[in-house]
Structure 1
Amino acid sequence: MSIRYILGRSGSGKTNLCLDEIRSQLKAEPQGPPLVLLVPDQATFQAEHALVSTPGLGGTIRAQVLSFRRLAFRVMQEAGGAARVQIDDSGKKMLLYELLHKHADELRQFGNMSDQSGFIDNLYRMYSEFRRYCISPARFESYVQTAEHREEPGVSELPAAKLHDMLLLYKRFEERLSGQYMDSEHLLTKTAEMLSESEYARGARIWIDGFYGFIPQELQVVGEWMRCAPQVTVSLCIDRDYSYSDSLDELDLFHPTARTLVRLKELAAGLNVPEEPPVLLQHRGRPHRFGRSPMLSHLERNFEYRSGKPYQGGGQAGRHEIVLAAAVNRRAEAEGTAREIVRLVRDEGCRWRDIAVMVRNMESYDDLLEVTFRDFGIPYFLDRKRSVLHHPVAELVRSALEVALGRWHNDAVFRCVKTDLLFPLQADTDGADAAKERDRLRDAMCRLENYVLAAGIQGYRWTEPRKWTYRVGSALDDVQQGNAASDEAFLDEMDRMRSIVVGPLSALEKALKDADTVLDMTVALYRFLESADVPAKLERWSLDSMEAGKPEQAREHTQVWGSVVDLLDQIVEMLGDESLSLERFAGIVESGLESVRIGLVPPSLDQVLVGTMDRTRSGSVRHCFVLGANDGVIPARPQENGVLTEPERDRLIAAGLELVEGSRRKLLDESFLIYMALTAASDSLTVCYPLADEEGKSLIPSEIVKRLKTMFPSVKERLLLIDPPSGPDAAEAGGDPYEYAVHPDRALSHLAVQLRHWIKGAPISDVWWDVYNWYCTRPEWRDKLYRTLKSLVYTNREEPLPESVSRELYGEMLRASVSRMERYVACPFSQFASHGLRLSERRVYRLDAPDIGQLFHAALSRVAAELQGEGEDWGALTAEQCYERASKAVDELAPRLQGEILLSSKRYGYIARKLKRIVGRASIVLGIHARRGLFVPIGLEVGFGPGEPLPPLEFTLDNGCRMEIVGRIDRVDRADSEKGVLLRVIDYKSSSTSLRLAEVFYGMSLQMLTYLDVVITHAERWVGVSSIPAGVLYFHVHNPLLVRKNALNAEEAEEQMLKRFKMKGLVLEDAETVRLMDDSFRERNGHSQLIPVALKADGGFYKSSSVVSEPQWDRLRYYVRGMITSIGTEITNGNVDIRPFRMGTKFACAFCPYKPVCQFEPLFEGNEYKKLNRIEKEAVWQAIDQAVNET
């Protein structure tokens, strides 16, 4: 037995020497004793490939490439122990979750932390660290007992409560694992114990390569191998030899590997293992890797010196050994890297496998690099383990348990549905028919979701035995005849879709509730997955992915099922006999799924490797790209996010417990990781950094960039842009335009940007005309080119509908409401979307403002109608009687509102009581109106149109079409005066509303004047005599809060309330009419509390009064009719322009639901607001008079 070291700097040929020695042994003695190359787990694939691809070697059974984990299984297969139950990280985290809950009452600090995000992970990492560093519960307990008796300063750094909880949980955790299970930590300990019993291990020659350091458990294995194997060779990246008595410079670049070498020598000396002379790979010239790259060789030799000796030599002509690049953001960084990778493969004959991309923080780049490389057609392998939480199987398990736990909450139910795993298996057969069936089921499930949300179905209603017949309506009595919701066939389809969902989920719910133990629950969950044919569906998905050329996705589908089954097995093994609540069981499963990771073998030999500096072993690559070289990223700042704080960790280390180094040592070791990444490639190194993040915040380059600039002053930094620059200085601004023409899809998007610049008059490079001609000469690209060119002249503007389309859409007779006219004025496209295309937002079972408004209308109309029917005077009612009648009206209307929404819950019951108080308060004020005035209601909810009490307003439009204006008037009042019969229109509003003449002029507020026109036009037919317009008024239905510093008496309270309820609108400019509306205004200096008028002593009206003379009423009616005619003509002419109005701060898009459809954006060419100016009252009348006179 002996130990030998191969020592050398990066690129000196250590790995090649190990492989050459193994190859020599294989050629000399193919059937000899085992030859083992021990490498990190993530490097096994590359090492195996390097070994088996040796020319002339053929195959071999003598040599094996192993990681510590694979070695452990190999030894236990021979010496015993492989049959013990395997527990992985997921199983141990689930066990910790259960222990935290089980011992919550005994814990002093951790008792309420089991559900805190990340706590289980942090606790698990701490205990794994204890076990890997051979800190047993007994040893930790000894430290705790000692710490409790210490009185020196610093003990507070490890609080007694935390120490108590850490020890308690660690002891229980180890008790549950020891003796029964085999996990990754036990695996190494057991391997060290059994290595000497393995004939395979005793006779093997060992080469250990690619490690920077070893944890104590791994050192135990290496020590045992030193003791029983004929020879152990360890290669380390280091600049010189050390003896175990040498002191180490903590600032030395090679401190991590020097520390490892010293520990190995200490171990060998303690075991009396003889040490062979070390092999020192020192090159007087260039290291083995950099034979053709003098600049990279200079970088490797001088990286450790802070001053950075400037490079004096010259590189090979045409070669860029070192490239520095600044990118405008990470996307530009990724795309610039992709362009260069494609160029290397296309122009320099590289293979994809000759290229590696290194980052320090994978979370910032993984998704971005995946999308970018896919766009550029670059085959890649992302060296990371992937979470399964995104996979449909994991989502099905989580959401199904949530359904059982949360009493069929809709979100959980439809999360199950959207995994597609509840669909019948026959929907996943081969062929186009299978795809059509899947699409049909998805569409049907979408309709089911819409129906459920609109009808307010949730909870127990999912599982009720009777057929669903729930009404879907937006407000009172609105079930929309002929809609699918009321159609029998539609309801049958909803029941069929419901059965697909409810069948397996209700069976799971019942089985879980009947379960006595965790074993029963786990079996129920597994049977649920089996009943849904999840394994067969995943197999089908895997085959489909392979056929689609997505091998990684195919392997993912295959691995996920095995991972989920392993998870369930581990739950049974550890907790099978326990009796837990369903909530705790679901928490355990959730914790397990969160920790499941799947590692994929590279699906191809020829692909770009993407990895992190600390994990990835790049092997023999020619070109390396280091991305994200920003301050705080490279070198990385250690994050303190574990159970132990940094001072607490230092305290434990000072007490003699060996642990992972603290933040300071990690920060110092960053230099070694950076050195290894920068010296990984043999031909070229590219270091990039973004200038800004995704939010536009500036980023600072790393100190590494500054050092490289100092070492290589001749290297000019490049700028990476997302799009190629244009103009005469394009080459200087962002490189050669040819660099952007590397992939047809990406080049087409760049071409579009360049042509847009050209259209605006900016010069562009001739390269882009060559690119344009390339697409023109290739038929397969002509359609895409045409669409691209079309986009260059795109304006977000809708052309008018052809006359034939408009007639087919609207007909020769347009029947419309006034609100539709107002919508058109606000934005023509909005009218087209709502009434032409009949688009509407998804209905949701909730009480919205329009529903409340309709309830107010209906309740007040019902109160008035009952009073009319009983011959009662509203003004004679007391406040209590008003509240009683309002409450009764709301109670009668509640079952008809939104599918009984006011009766559906206690919350809505509370809202119903508030609505009763609001209607009651409004009734009281309307009673005061009745006492003070002589106007009485003669019509409530008066409809006008076909089949209604009043006929519609009819118009013949300029284009020959006819139009009818229909609608419903809340309330019409009548009073008899010396001039004749007066009629006024009142509209109940749930929000404060005013009638502004400027809005009438623009056509934005036509409703009230149109209603008045209807009743005046048809008065003789309706009331038996021609009538005079008395006014149009808005009554705000609300329950104002009266706030005063001092208490109010009854009279003051009534005055304040009436001030809040004062109606707004227009009133006939006539003192008698005003008196008929409020005969008490003279008692208040001519100021009315009920209507917006104030009379002077001389009988004239104040300027602030909202009054209109009889001639003005006539002009208003005439003007409104002309406006409606004009609007109707434009609608039937097919005008669907996207042109919303804007008046001051008010604009049409504020509450428009169709903005995602029209995509209106003022920055787009062709998109602009229809700006309306505010006009004074006198100017409005002048404009109206002018318009009337012109017609």
Structure 2
Amino acid sequence: NGQTFQDRVEAEKQVLLQAGHEQEALNLVAAWNALVALSAEAGLVLQDERMSQKHFTQMFMAGLEGLSQSSIPVGIDRVRVGSLTQIVDYPAKVLYILGADADHFPPAGPGEGFLRDDEREWLSQHSGSRLPHRLDNLAVTQSLINYRLETQPESLRLSAATKSKDKQSLQLQAWIRAAGTETVLLEADTEPDARWNILKYARRGLIFSREKYSHSLWRNALRQIEKNSAGPQIGDRLTTNFILQPGKFILTDPGYRILQPGSISISALQRYNGCPFQYFIDYGLNLRERDIAEDSPREQGSFVHRLLELALLDLQSRLQAVPPADRSRVKQEWRQQIAGGYLRNYYAQLVAEPGFYVYGRPEVSGLIGERLLQHAAATLELTTTDLPGDPVPFYPHALEWQFPQPEDPKPYSLDVDGQAVLLRGLIDRVDVDAGGQKFRLYDFKRSERSNKQSQVGLVDGTDIQLPIYRQVWQQANPQMRVDASLLLFFKNRSENNKNRWSHVYQAEAEYLRKLNKKIEGQTAAELEKDSDFAIALAKESIRSIRRGSFPATPVVRSENDGGSPCGYCQYRGLCYYDAPNRPLPPATVSAADLEKQKQQRLLRAEQSAD
């Protein structure tokens, strides 16, 4: 009829006003104004950018997600549940909401449905058809609802308190009076209820229930144990040990190749030192959850590593194409490009590579991707600066150097009780001075670490990569000597600096001072000692793997020293360790205590070798 969409909205508004529905008319006008404002803002931001409706919706929803709360603050709610037996045995999962009573939860809806009764009658008269009514077959509908609630094999129910005349919860009184029921009451409302941890116990208990209730990780783990075991009796014994005593789990079945590693990666050794039980699940059972294409801290680290590699390879090729006298000039010209759009060209190349597709999505590239570009740019600019304390400059020499190298006549291996174990690994970056006599090792990390935290990781065996890398590179290049081993990831401050001039925050003086301090604080003798210590721990770990020792006893550290690895472990529901009554983490370790622990650990490693 030639009407525009705005004309149709205006006509609909008049109809609503004439019918006496003033609030609906106001809602319609508000929605139309919001749509016009959104379209105008999108046109200003996107200009002539072509975008599908699906991607525009994803971008819009990503913006809305930033307005929502990610978690419930401590003390805003409290949870009380029944005994552990009740939770495991009863198929219904109940979420009991406090802070509301039965008079207000669930929120009371309108007395009529989506269509009002008068609207339904009007439609019935004009269409000649009888429409269903909310009061039709009320008894049958109620019976059907009750039947479904009672026969569901597994369900989620929301409940609220029903108050008695004295304002006390009737359900709470019933729990207190019931025999054999555990009730958790807290004196302070500022601490979360300990029973939040009950989910881990419930998941473990479900393995003894029917198959449909068992956790997928449990099913996969037990299936792999039965498949890999030499016989049914050994498989049953291992299954029982795995389920009931993960804290003392010992693998005695010689059928597992994991017990005799001919080669092993250094990152796998670090995983074992962090938690032997997690190592067994990863490398003994090859247990993995379904891989989903989504953003994660680990994928972000891989993406930044690849960005750094491509940019540094470009710098390396430029330096090789000019004589030594022009290298400083070429490097300075390359560094000036970083503050511009230099890395964006590599971003488009990266999202086309396998594994990085998720960072090409509009809602990810516009937020997470931009932040990763800032981190990579800051890291490149500030780690390729000529340091004031260097008599000669250092240049990138090797990137993503993998060992053992192809056709290496003498690959690096450890002699563990007469058997050679080949070590595998990947060195992120090696810089060499102009004369090719000194080298610096770089290991890029997603989050910044202090030197003390690195020493804590060295003592407990979870951070032994760099010391062993130094040994490997030294054997492959005996003509060089070590100058420094550095864990690097620049903490970009441009996000919090409103006066910045570019996306790289200009804090070179502060950063270079810290970097100089790190390098000057390292001596060749100390680095040699750290390497020997790391090698001793690696041998000790390999001996423990050969014995089949895979207990669920992860590293215990204070939050200031790195915290517990349980927080990001996807298998934390499979072991008893992360329980409400586990011991508190130790206090922050001092430098003197750290050195004492280091000597004790070295002595223990030497004794295990004997």
TM-score norm. by structure 2 comes to 0.59
1:990 maps onto 2:440 in alignment:
no
Task: Give runs of aligned pairs for residues 815-894 of structure 1, distance below 5 A.
Answer: 815-871=263-319, 873=328, 875-877=331-333, 880-882=336-338, 883-894=340-351
Question: How big is the shift at 1:1137?
Answer: 0.4
Secondary structure of the structure 1 residue equivalent to 2:401: strand
Provide, for residues 80-119 of structure 1, a one-character-per-residue CA deviation record: whole Å limited to 9, x for no partner: xxxxxxxxxxxxxxxxxxxx999656422355899xx988
Distance in 2 of aligned mates of 1:1175 and 1:185: 70
Q: Could you tell me whether the CA contact under 8 Å between 1:813 and 1:962 is conserved in 2? A: no
AA aligned opposite 1:1010: I
- Alpha-carbon displacement from aligned partner over 1:459-513 (angstroms, at most 9, x marks no partner): xxxxxxxxxxxxxxxxxxxxxxxxxxxxxxxxxxxxxxxxxxxxxxxxxxxxxxx
Deviation at 1:946, TM superposition (A): 5.7
Give 1:984 shift. Answer: 1.5
8 Å Cα contact 1:104/1:112 also seen in 2: no
Give the whole-Å Cα distance in 2 for the aligned partners of 1:879 and 1:186: 71
Q: How does 1:544-559 map to 2 (within 5 A)?
A: none
Following TM superposition, by how much is the alpha carbon of 1:929 offset from its aligned partner in structure 2, in angstroms? 3.5
1:1036 and 2:485 are equivalent in the alignment: no
| Deviation of the 1:837 alpha carbon | 1.2
Q: Which residue of 2 aligns with 1:1090?
A: 515
User: Quick one: which of 1130, 1133, 1157 aligns to 2:544?
Assistant: 1130
Deviation at 1:1112, TM superposition (A): 2.5
Q: Secondary structure at 1:968's aligned position in 2?
A: strand
Please, which of 1092, 1101, 1110 is the counterpart of residue 524 of structure 2?
A: 1110
Tell me the secondary structure at the aligned position of residue 123 of structure 1. coil
1:173-572 → structure 2 map (5 Å cutoff): 173-177=120-124, 180=128, 384-387=142-145
Counterparts of 1:920 and 1:1089, CA distance in 2: 18
CA separation of 1:102 and 1:949: change in aligned 2, threshold 3 A: farther
Q: Which amino acid aligns with 2:264?
A: A
Aligned partners of 2:428 and 2:442 also within 8 Å: yes
Once the two structures are superposed, residues 723-759 of structure 1 have per-residue CA deviations (whole angstroms, 9 ceiling, x without a partner) of 69xxxxxxxxxxxxxxxxxxxxxxxx9xxxxxxxxxx
SS of residue paired to 1:846: coil
Q: Do structure 1's residue 1147 and structure 2's residue 595 form an aligned pair?
A: no
Paired with 1:1176 and 1:931, the residues of 2 have a C-alpha distance of 31
Alignment-mate amino acid for residue 1036 of structure 1? F
Instruction: Provide the secondary structure at the position in 2 that maps to 1:1092.
Output: helix
Tell me which residue corresponds to 2:92.
Answer: none
Relative distance call for 1:946 and 1:120 in structure 2 (3 A) is same
Report what 2:196 is aligned to: none
- What amino acid is aligned across from residue 802 of structure 1 in structure 2? T
| Counterpart residue number, 2:402 | 943
Instruction: Tell me if the contact between 1:856 and 1:1037 (Cα under 8 Å) persists in the aligned partners.
Output: no
Once the two structures are superposed, the pairs formed by residues 615-626 of structure 1 within 5 Å of their partners are none
User: Shift in Å at residue 1089 of structure 1?
Assistant: 4.9
Matches within 5 A, 1:574-589: none
How far did 1:1005 drift? 1.3
For 1:914 and 1:825, the matched residues in 2 are separated by: 32
- 1:985 corresponds to which letter in structure 2? L
CA contact (8 A) 1:895 1:902 kept: no
Return closer, same or farther for 1:809/1:1049 CA change in 2, 3 Å cut-off.
Answer: closer
- What CA deviation, in whole Å up to 9, does each residue of 1:419-440 have, x standing for no partner? xxxxxxxxxxxxxxxxxxxxxx
Amino acid at match of 2:472: V
Contact preservation (8 Å) 1:861, 1:940: yes
For residues 878-898 of structure 1, the C-alpha deviation after alignment (integer angstroms, 9 at most, x for no partner) is 654224442333332221152
Q: Find the residue that maps to 1:1039 and give its secondary structure.
A: coil
Considering only CA atoms, is the larger Rg found in Structure 1 or Structure 2? 1
Q: Is the Cα–Cα contact under 8 Å of residues 120 and 131 in structure 2 kept in the other structure?
A: no
Shift, 1:815, TM fit: 2.3
How far the C-alpha of 1:825 sits from its partner, in A, is 1.6
Q: Secondary structure at the match of 1:1149?
A: helix
Percent identity, aligned pairs only, is 15
CA distance in 2, matches of 1:1186, 1:1137: 21
> 2:415 matched to 1:956?
yes
Question: Does structure 1 conserve the Cα–Cα contact (< 8 Å) formed by 2:259 and 2:548?
Answer: no
- 1:630–1:699 CA contact under 8 A, matched in 2: no
Q: Alignment partner of 2:267: what SS?
A: helix
Change (3 A) 1:893 1:1048: closer
Match of 2:574 among 1144, 1157, 1166: 1157
TM-superposed deviation, 1:851:
2.0
Secondary structure of the equivalent of 2:473?
helix
Please give the per-residue CA displacement for 1:811-835, whole angstroms capped at 9, x wherever unaligned. Answer: 6334222222122122110111111
CA contact under 8 A between 1:1010 and 1:1120: conserved in structure 2? yes
The one-letter code of the counterpart of 1:940 is: L
**CA distance 1:961–1:721, change in 2 (3 Å):** farther
Q: In the alignment, which residue of structure 1 is the partner of 2:457?
A: 999
Indicate how the Cα distance of structure 1 residues 186 and 723 shifts in structure 2: closer, same or farther if over 3 A, else same: closer
CA offsets, 1:691-710, max 9 Å, x none? 763xxx5589xxxxxxxxxx
Aligned counterpart in structure 2 of residue 1010 of structure 1, from 468, 492, 514? 468
| Pairwise CA distance, 1:1132 | 1.9
Deviations 1:581-610, CA, capped at 9 Å, x for gaps: xxxxxxxxxxxxxxxxxxxxxxxxxxxxxx
Q: Is the 8 A contact 1:971 1:987 kept in 2?
A: yes
Q: Secondary structure of the residue that 2:517 maps to in structure 1?
A: coil
What SS class does the counterpart of residue 247 from structure 2 fall into?
Answer: coil
- TM normalised by structure 1 equals 0.32
Letter in 1 for 2:492: N
**Cα deviation digits, residues 297-320 of structure 1 (max 9, x gap):** xxxxxxxxxxxxxxxxxxxxxxxx
Q: 1:965 maps to which residue? A: 423
| 3-state SS in 1 of match to 2:348 | helix
Which SS does the other structure have where 2:487 is aligned?
Answer: strand
CA RMSD of aligned residues (A): 4.8
Q: CA deviation at 1:1106?
A: 6.9
Matches of 2:554 and 2:593 in 1, distance apart? 24
Aligned pairs for 1:119-138 (under 5 A) are 122-123=111-112
Aligned-partner Cα distance in 1 for 2:356–2:495: 34
Contact 2:280 2:550 in 1 (8 A): yes
CA distance in 1, matches of 2:459, 2:135: 85
C-alpha separation in 2, matches of 1:185 and 1:1005:
68
Aligned counterpart in structure 2 of residue 631 of structure 1, from 160, 164, 173: 164
SS at match of 2:112: helix
The alignment partner of 1:1123 has SS state of helix
User: Matches of 1:970 and 1:1040 in 2, distance apart?
Assistant: 24
Residue 1011 to residue 184, structure 1, CA distance change in 2 (3 Å): closer
Which ranges of structure 1 fall in alignment gaps of 5 or more residues?
1-99, 128-168, 189-380, 392-549, 554-627, 638-689, 701-717, 725-748, 750-789, 1063-1087, 1094-1104
Q: Is the 8 A contact 1:943 1:949 kept in 2?
A: no
Q: 5 Å matches for 1:677-756?
A: 693=171, 697=172, 719-722=177-180
2 CA distance for matches of 1:937 and 1:186?
A: 75
Count of residues in Structure 1 that have an aligned counterpart in Structure 2: 431
* Aligned-partner SS, 1:998: helix
Quote how far apart the aligned CAs of 1:1189 are.
7.3
CA deviations on 1:14-49 (whole Å, 9 max, x unpaired) are xxxxxxxxxxxxxxxxxxxxxxxxxxxxxxxxxxxx
Cα–Cα, structure 1 residues 811 and 952, in superposed 2: closer, same or farther, change >3 Å? farther
Greater relative contact order (CA < 8 Å, ≥ 6 in sequence): 2
SS at match of 2:352: helix
3-state SS of the aligned residue for 2:429?
strand
Q: How much does 1:801 deviate?
A: 0.5
SS in 2 for 1:847: coil
Q: Which residue of 2 aligns with 1:108?
A: 22
